[in-house]
Amino acid sequence: MNEVKLTQLGIKDSRDLLNKKEISATELTNAYIQNIEESSKLNAFIEKTFDKALIQASKADKIIGTDSQKSLCGIPLGIKDLFCCKNVKTQAASDILENFIPPYESTVTQKLWNEQAIMLGKLNMDEFAMGSSNETSTYGPVINPWKSTDSHDSLTPGGSSGGSSAAVAANLCTGATGTDTGGSIRQPASFTGTVGLKPTYGRCSRWGIIAFASSFDQAGPITKNVTDSAIMLKAMSGFDPLDSTSAKIDVPDYEQELGKDIKGLRVGLAKEYSLRNGDSEAIRKLEEAIKILKNMGAEIVEVSLPHTEFALPTYYVLAPAEASSNLARYDGVRYGYRAKLDTNDSILELYEKTRSEGFGTEVKRRILIGTYVLSSGYYDAYYKRAQKVRSLIKNDFDEVFKKVDIILTPTTPTSAFPLGSKGTQDPVEMYMNDIFTVPANLAGLPALSLPVGLDELGLPLGVQLIGNNWQEPLLLNTAFNLENTLAFENNPKNWWA
Amino acid sequence: MDIDTETVLKIARLSRIKINEGESADIQKDLNRIVEFVKKLGEIDIDGIDEFNFGKTNIEDMRKDSVTIYDNTDDILKNTKNKNQDFFTVPKIVE
């Protein structure tokens, strides 16, 4: 390979070269291993599985070109640390799961291995996926490969899937898995110039993914481009008897849907999303996308989602409530961290000390607030009320999707911010990051972040497309059309190797 | 202020999280900030609105309620140092 390095290619282009036997899976895997070894400054990979990767690559090389070849044969991927992988240390970036080795594999990762993908290792993230900057990880924050043109500050890669977004942007893997509870795939994608897709709730099985807020959590891909997103989503999707909320409906061939004309597509612009930031870079990027869509014959329709301003408060009642219940299992008895006890300590002290020492500050904060809103006397005022407001937010979307096919919004209010600059005095300041992404999780809808270009600081910024349930093909095709015109190149200057 | 010191200690106890005196004030401040933020929900009229759900679960789609045996005890016990034979060990519960 000349000029373009092997590791810049992504999933589809690597697949094509592998199929033509111009490269081998072992060669490709070794190229990524080298990049990962040189990337310690980014802190993206927290567990490397190179021995496993090279065995998988060698197998792939024997299979390529035969009838046994599957869709991701020989494609090296990174896996967010929230996915349990059999015999691979999995901690959700938390001390409380210290040295936890799952005796089972998550459904989504198993599907990827069934398609003969290669596992390079586990990716850093916010502890239990609670955070928007990667700063709550017990491994320390991931550093965004992108830097502002006017400063050398280390920037956040976004969160919680910040290891995934940074690894894809820095060419440490062809693509990566992420999970998205309130924006944890899309916000990191926007901050790193990558494509992040949160599928419809129920599209991917949640089995074996360490639970944060079960009625919101959804797995999805972070990739270099839209085609790769389509390829990876197909491999990750499908009904699973082990997750009763996974949908028993067919998985389309998303890649086949790409390239269709979008003339006549009705694109909704929600006034509640656009005007909040007035004349910001995020709005300017949105306008660029609007212009392209108009040129392609799409019809732009102004719509209203009147309960948008209640989305974040609703989320910060419901998600912590679910988290407080899900995280009750970490008691120090059966796995993970156990606090050192004094001689006379009881079982209660075992629980309380273990959880106090094992969980980080943000996770404890969310467990406490979740416990509060579920506690006697407050349940109706907070939890039940929020569940009703969640219905109103979903109804808003149902009404809008009678008028339009897709909704276009900014993904994030700003581009990536410096580590340590947000939320240190006021936790709510960090929560505001998810202002545009949370509504899709509340309504269970699929949403995709697509890089539009660089802002005035030279940092990538994305737009978000939100679709109706199961409309991933339309989301991906619209994004594909936009991507072709935008021709955004994700090539942060390599300062880390 | 909605959450006083006593409430912080109560929810910490319910959450099984030990809170030291030194951190109690900061936690109280953060929790009150979050409560103040989510109080916005009180502004909406929710009369007659149903609680959110993803729709009806199709009973035919549920898997059979059948017993499966998982006996990889060794795999499970690999994740703890606190064991005795095939059991987890904890501080004495019964006097």
Q: Is A203 helix (H, G, I), strand (E, B) or coil?
A: coil
- The answer to whether the Cβ–Cβ distance between A389 and B46 falls below 8 Å is yes
**Nearest-angstrom CA–CA distance, B89 and B81:** 9
Q: Is A285 exposed, middle or buried (0-12, 13-18, 19+ CB in 10 A)?
A: buried
Distance CA A72, CA A118 (A): 8
Instruction: Give the per-residue pLDDT at B64.
Output: 80
B1 inside 8 A of chain A by CB = no
Say if the Cβ atoms of B90 and A333 lie within 8 Å. Answer: yes
Q: Chain A contact for B9, CB < 8 A?
A: no
Quote the minimal CA–CA distance from A253 to chain B in Å.
23
Structure tokens at A187: 């916000």
> pLDDT tens for residues B51-87?
998 876 666 667 788 898 888 899 899 999 999 999 9
* Residue A450 clears pLDDT 90, i.e. is over it: yes
Find out whether A282 and A413 touch, Cβ atoms under 8 Å: yes
Tell me which CATH code domain A6-259 carries.
Answer: 3.90.1300.10
Cα–Cα dist A28/A35, whole Å: 11
Whether residue B2 has pLDDT greater than 50: yes
Catalytic hit among A184, A229, A237, A449: A184
- Option in B11, B39, B44 nearest A371 (CB): B11
Cβ within 8 Å, pair A388-B40: no
Percent of chain A clearing pLDDT 70 (strictly above): 98
Q: Provide mean pLDDT across the span A248-262.
A: 96
List, for residues A139-156, the tens digit of each pLDDT value. 999 999 999 999 999 999
Q: Which CATH architecture has domain B5-43?
A: Orthogonal Bundle (1.10)
Domain boundaries, chain B: 5-43
**Residue in A39, A137, A160, A237 annotated catalytic:** A160
Q: What's the pLDDT score for residue A2? A: 43
Q: How far is CA A319 from CA A314, A378, A386, in A?
A: 8, 16, 10
Mapped onto helix, strand or coil, the DSSP state of residue A18 is helix
pLDDT digits (tens, 9 = 90+) for A296-346: 999 999 999 999 999 999 999 999 999 999 999 999 999 999 999 999 999
Note the pLDDT of residue B70: 85
Residues of chain B with C-beta less than 8 angstroms from the C-beta of A384: 51
State residue B33's pLDDT score: 96
Q: How confident is the model at residue A250 (pLDDT cuts 50, 70, 90)?
A: very high
Residue type, A373: V
From chain A, the residues in CB contact with B52 under 8 A are 387-388, 390-391, 394, 442
DSSP A235-285: HH-S--TT-TTS--SPPP-GGGGTT---TT-EEEEEHHHHSTTSS-HHHHH
**Catalytic residue status for A151:** no
Given a cut of 80, is residue A370 above it in pLDDT?
yes
> What's residue A433's pLDDT?
87
User: β-pairing, A460-467 with A406-410?
Assistant: antiparallel
Mutate to test the interface with A, among B79, B83, B86, B94 (most CBs of A within 10 A): B79
Q: In sequence order, what are the residues at sequence separation of 6 or more whose Cβ sits closer than 8 angstroms to the Cβ of residue B86?
A: B73, B77
SS (H, E, C) A308-359: HHHHHHHHHHHHHHHHHHHHHHCCCCCCCCCCCCCCCCCHHHHHHHHHHHHC
pLDDT tens digits along A158-177: 999 999 999 999 999 999 99
pLDDT > 80? residue A248: yes
- Answer whether B58 touches A (CB < 8 Å): yes
Q: Classify the phi-psi angles of B71: left when phi > 0, otherwise alpha if psi is within -120 to 50, otherwise beta.
A: alpha
Give the phi and the psi of residue A272 in degrees, each rounded to 5. Answer: -70, -20
Q: How far apart are the first and last CA of chain B?
A: 42
Does B72 sit within 8 Å of A310, measured CB to CB?
A: no
Partner-chain contact A244 B61, CB within 8 Å: yes
Task: Dump pLDDT digits (tens) for A42-96.
Answer: 999 999 999 999 999 999 999 999 999 999 999 999 999 999 999 999 999 999 9
Q: What's the pLDDT band for A1 if we cut at 50, 70, 90?
A: very low
Q: How close A79 gets to chain B, by Cα (Å)?
A: 21
For residues A386-403, average pLDDT: 98
Q: CA end-to-end span of chain A, whole Å?
A: 20
Catalytic annotation, pick one of A39, A71, A80, A165 = A80
Indicate the burial class of A317 (C-beta count within 10 angstroms; 0-12, 13-18, 19 or more).
buried
Listed range (A26-35, A286-295, B48-57) with the worst mean pLDDT: B48-57
ipTM of this predicted complex? 0.95
Domain locations along chain A: 6-259
Contacts of A373 (CB under 8 A, 6+ apart): A317, A320, A321, A379, A382, A383, A386, B38
Closest CA to A74 of A64, A88, A87: A64
CA distance A440 to chain B (A): 13
Catalytic: A80? yes
Helix/strand/coil percent split, chain B, to 5: 45, 5, 55
Nearest to A268 by CA among A475, A465, A477, A484: A465
* pLDDT tier, A428 (very low <50, low <70, confident <90, very high otherwise): very high
Chain A residues closer than 8 Å to B51 by CB = 384, 387-388, 390-391
b (16+ CB within 10 A) / e for B8-22: beebbebbbbbbeee
Q: In whole angstroms, what separates CA A298 from the centre of its chain?
A: 28
Kindly report the average pLDDT of chain A as a whole number.
Answer: 96
Instruction: Give the whole-angstrom CA distance, residue A46 versus residue A44.
Output: 6
- What local confidence, expressed as pLDDT, does residue A25 receive? 98
Based on the residue annotation, tell me whether A415 is a catalytic residue of this protein. Answer: no
Cβ atoms of A322 and A215 closer than 8 Å: yes
